[in-house]
Amino acid sequence: MDTMLASELISKLKFKEVENFTDFEVALVTQDTREVVADSIFIAIAGHTVDGHAFVDQALQSGAKLIIAQKPIKVGVPVVYVENTYKAMAILSSAFYNYPSQKLQVIGVTGTNGKTTVTHMIDAIFRDQGQKTGLIGTMYRRIGDEVLKTNNTTPDIITLQRTLAKMATVNVSEVAMEVSSVALIQGRVWGVDFDVAVFTNFSQDHLDYHKTMANYAHAKSLLFAQLGNSYGGKEKVAVFNLDDPMSKKFMQDTPAQVLTYGIDSPAMIRAENIDIHSQGTDFDLVVFKQRYHLHVKTVGLFNVYNLLAAFGAAYVSGIATEDIISALTKFPGVKGRLQLLSHKQVSVIVDYAHTPDGLLNALETINDFAKGKVYCVVGCGGDRDHDKRPKMAQIAVANSDLAVFTSDNPRTEDPQAIIDDMLKGVEAGTAKVIVDRSQAIRWALEQAQPGDVVLIAGKGHEDYQIIGKQKYHFDDVEEVTNYFKQA
Ligand SMILES: CC(=O)N[C@H]1[C@@H](OP(=O)(O)OP(=O)(O)OC[C@H]2O[C@@H](n3ccc(=O)[nH]c3=O)[C@H](O)[C@@H]2O)O[C@H](CO)[C@@H](O)[C@@H]1O[C@H](C)C(=O)N[C@@H](C)C(=O)N[C@H](CCC(=O)O)C(=O)O
Ligand SMILES: Nc1ncnc2c1ncn2[C@@H]1O[C@H](COP(=O)(O)OP(=O)(O)OP(=O)(O)O)[C@@H](O)[C@H]1O
Ligand SMILES: N[C@H](CCC[C@H](N)C(=O)O)C(=O)O
Ligand SMILES: [Mg+2]
């Protein structure tokens, strides 16, 4: 990468106060003292947990030569004061990495459920075309075949710009990324030049953060509002699920052209004659009145919606309908999303459903093909939306023969207290409680007879459990396969 002078970078900040400035070549722009190297610019962020302004001394010790701050600090190096360091971070990181999103086709996917699935489907379509792709989301950041770990579904803006820059350097052409509501509020995608924005659906989650459904909806709308406002340049398109009432609102918030998909509404891209079975789904895809028959490996009505969303994103990116269909037909599914494991005619499904709507969809899908009893092992994450707990519990009890309430990631909460919140949603004695997740899974597997289905919900691909502030190795799939080995 070409080096950049600090003066050149901070010239991008229009309104600022500069103290004791001397120029230097910038090695790194970061908000995290743990990343600072010699000749870094450190941006102090007043976060939700701690205040980065209190870490400035550490940044200096590690070699920071310039501090960007929004509160008065006393240091022996130059300081640039701005109104909002989050905004400064977005502007500086974008400039430092030379506006990488402008060199890439960036497709952002937002919605309560389905983001990881849809981004993987989009990625599979472009890969099938022989393109080098980038993927950013809950499970990882992937640059071509290189897999990088991630802390958040949508990374902080510096990590994001750095990742996009690396993608551009190694000739990635398309990037599919999950854009979470929290990220939209925190400005983690400010300045990202999205070409396509996709909406999956809207239901309850993250009320711990957003407080009200209206705030949560507003957060999601920001992606569509951000979708380019200068016509005549790159064509921008918003892809909406017309069956979700929230689409109508978001359509009004976007200056972009709109493509719609749906099943029940008269959308431009539709699925008809849907036949869901345990090994896959058959349906007719109707693209502006042209009809194609598809047989796909994914199951569940919600996955038909995900396929339509991915189809829409690829279609507006110029891929031929037949090529998109060919790729979607081969799509194997995503780890931990309705992942089927079987042993002696007992079916176990590991699924990442961690919202009321996600859990209901997973259980309805399973009930459509289960021949015997349905067991549901489920917990709710600690330090997250409390309000969804009784709702998920009620859905588990109402849509299974036996629900087992257990721990998800308790984080800093008391695991029993989380389960007590769940129990408020059901009648006494209607659910079995086993706090230890491993024991709960084992117990359900012991009960299951041939023909029965056990859904293990909430953690999907996760290979850890967070108890307190500690991350322990834990993998639902591994728990099941270990049990099967000795059963
Ligand atoms: C509540 C929340 O959103 N927190 C995010 C936020 O952290 P924060 O505001 O608490 O930051 P902080 O820990 O107070 O630190 C403040 C500043 O001090 C700096 N610092 C801190 C310590 C230190 O030693 N040195 C130092 O420089 C930090 O780098 C930071 O710049 O900024 C961090 C960096 O971007 C995120 O990793 C972190 O996500 C935490 C892990 C989190 O749990 N977030 C969840 C709510 C979240 O964002 N989820 C969404 C949606 C998931 C989905 O449904 O798909 C996501 O996109 O992941
Ligand atoms: N279109 C959909 N509508 C409703 N539920 C869905 C849909 N797609 C997936 N789900 C359910 O939600 C779970 C999570 O799916 P996925 O990981 O794709 O969503 P996500 O939006 O990425 O979630 P996160 O918010 O954690 O990033 C799945 O395991 C499934 O149970
Ligand atoms: N991205 C979601 C994932 C929840 C997964 C569930 N296993 C939990 O820990 O609550 C969140 O951070 O809220
Ligand atoms: Mg996700």
Q: Identify whether the C-beta of residue 420 lies closer than 8 Å to the C-beta of residue 433.
A: no
Phi then psi for residue 4, to 5 deg, are -135, 140
Section 294-319 average pLDDT: 95
pLDDT given at position 300: 86
Q: Is 92 found in the same domain as 107?
A: no
CATH of the domain at 425: 3.90.190.20
Q: Which residues neighbour 434 within 8 Å (Cβ) at sequence distance 6 or greater?
A: 404, 405, 406, 440, 443
Q: Give the mean pLDDT of the chain.
A: 95
Q: Identify whether the C-beta of residue 278 lies closer than 8 Å to the C-beta of residue 228.
A: no
Q: pTM here?
A: 0.92
Q: Is 107 found in the same domain as 55?
A: no
- Which of 41, 65, 96 delimits the end of a domain? 96
Amino acid at 16: K
Whether 103 shows a pLDDT value over 60: the answer reads: yes
Q: Which domain holds residue 343?
A: 339-486
- Which of 61, 96, 131 delimits the end of a domain? 96
Tell me how far the alpha carbon of residue 450 lies from the centroid of ligand 4, in angstroms: 33
CATH of the domain at 144: 3.40.1190.10
- Which of 330, 352, 380 delimits the end of a domain? 330
- pLDDT class for 2, splitting at 50, 70, 90? low
Summarised one tens digit per residue, pLDDT across range 257-268 is 999 999 999 999
Q: Identify whether the C-beta of residue 442 lies closer than 8 Å to the C-beta of residue 454.
A: no
Q: Identify whether the C-beta of residue 12 lies closer than 8 Å to the C-beta of residue 92.
A: yes
Residue 219 CA: which ligand is closest? Answer: 1
pLDDT given at position 485: 92
Domain count within the chain: 3
Q: Is 161 found in the same domain as 206?
A: yes
Assess whether the C-beta atom of 45 lies below 6 angstroms from ligand 1: yes
pLDDT given at position 3: 80
Tell me how far the alpha carbon of residue 475 lies from the centroid of ligand 3, in angstroms: 15
Name beta bridge partners: 339.
350
Whether 1 shows a pLDDT value over 80: the answer reads: no
Q: Is 156 found in the same domain as 270?
A: yes
pLDDT given at position 211: 85
Whether 229 shows a pLDDT value over 70: the answer reads: no
Summarised one tens digit per residue, pLDDT across range 146-183 is 999 999 999 999 999 999 999 999 999 999 999 999 99
SS3 per-residue string spanning 37-73 = CCCEEEECCECCCCEHHHHHHHHHHCCEEEEEECCCC
CATH of the domain at 24: 3.40.1390.10
pLDDT given at position 371: 87
Assess whether the C-beta atom of 116 lies below 6 angstroms from ligand 3: no
- Residues, CB within 5 angstroms of ligand 4 (ion): 115-116, 138, 178
Name beta bridge partners: 177.
108, 136
